[in-house]
Amino acid sequence: VQLQASGGGLVQPGGTLSLSCAASGSIFSINVMAWYRQAPGKQRELVASITKDGITNYADSVKGRFTISRDVASNTLYLQVSSLRREDTAVYYCNARNTLPESIWYGRDFWGQGTQVTVSS
């Protein structure tokens, strides 16, 4: 699975961005897609995830401000980020994996290149 993230940039506090992640390859072998982020000097953390069934999960720090979604037809993952804060500044990464122990593809884990989001006035 290949993942290509885009949409990052410089935005003022309170602003909005839309991140995209185009997936290609063996999409059938994964069941969860997610966005992670890594700020300077910090560990990579989960921002939001979405399953094949459309079940979403968010980090507490972004609930109510970020929205994860996907377009099955185009194999694209999105992250709408709003009410941005300086602490949201990070490199955002797209992830795709298989978390089903009963699956023959269990353990597959793919990462895209990051896209920088900088929140600054």
Closest CA to 17 of 85, 114, 74, 111: 85
Per-residue pLDDT of the chain (121 residues; tens, 9 = 90+): 999 999 999 999 999 999 999 999 998 899 999 999 999 999 999 999 999 999 999 999 999 999 999 998 899 999 999 999 999 999 999 999 999 999 999 999 999 999 999 999 9
Q: Using an 8 Å Cβ cutoff, are 99 and 120 in contact? A: no
What's the pLDDT score for residue 16? 97
Taking only the tens place, the pLDDT of each residue in 13-29 is 999 999 999 999 998 89
